[in-house]
Structure 1
């Protein structure tokens, strides 16, 4: 009880629902399991008959990046896979880049748990084109399929989306870049490096807009790419 007294009702119900669904599939599920070696506890530990285990953390409240990394490192140190399910306090319809890259796993996926539909919402394709909104691809899979995928490697039948850069996108990026130059929105540090290396001006390098899909940056994507190239030069 002491573990759960500060948790929300949504958190508690979600853990119980996941536990019951997992056990119906024939797996063992332990709530609030303490892991003495790392002085942590998992919301849920799921294991199969072969001893393979998965830790699940249901995150509804805020958590700092250092604390999140500390917990992940703890699980890693004992060879335990962990997946963070984000609750309804974290929006999957309009996720911030900070939240997405904070919780992205090693396969660059982010997971939400929809308690009403008992589905796992998976965000993939975490890219952002220059001058476009950050819009990851969203997949919905049944919880049963998700668990079977982890333990039995059964396909989730996800629809993947190929990242395409066409001429229309390139023209939009080029026009937006030209507008930034005319309105003097280009950082002075970039201009300084451009002239330092004897380029005519910032616009002389239109290649900087091609295939720009980096996400999770605090600065504009093309600013970052051009700065790196100029610093290397």
Structure 2
């Protein structure tokens, strides 16, 4: 089944008197349960693509379908609701709320969605255990290492069972040891939860270890490769 369908996606920005084409007509499909790396030099369109897939930005033309639904056909409030319910995010900067502990940070999207606090709490505990932080759930971000903070961010991204998990340079702020742990964790999550994952990364070793790599250049797909 198709989790994500991108059709002739374009995004242009007015820059002075000229136009910058960040995406110049991108099309691809991602099946449910796939894990895909998006690679390319700075300015290739990677972040723009991720922001549109995450409904944080809208396309100039073309469309995206997530689980067969076009989120941009909805009103603004419905787009944000769709995002919270169906898309998980892991950013380079984990964006944890410093006044809440690991468990509370993990629970946040579920509470915003209006789910039962009891059920959200139970699920958050399960997810923190899955990312290896069962004994750290009462710790605040300032009491956690960079790698642990990113693990909390991953757990948080999964709390609403997203159709699509998006990660933007998830190990970019980590040393090589912690980065390796985070890379392994994404693969474990993909296998155990059958999550559909799209990762934007500059880490060539991580990208090469994933089963599919979409390479962008100048807003276009340069290659779309499957591992043999």
User: Does the alignment reach a TM-score above 0.5?
Assistant: no
Higher RCO structure, 1 or 2 (CA under 8 Å, sep 6+)? 2
Q: Structure 2-normalised TM-score?
A: 0.29
Q: Structure 1-normalised TM-score?
A: 0.29
Give the greater-gyration-radius structure (CA).
1
Structure number with the higher strand fraction is 2
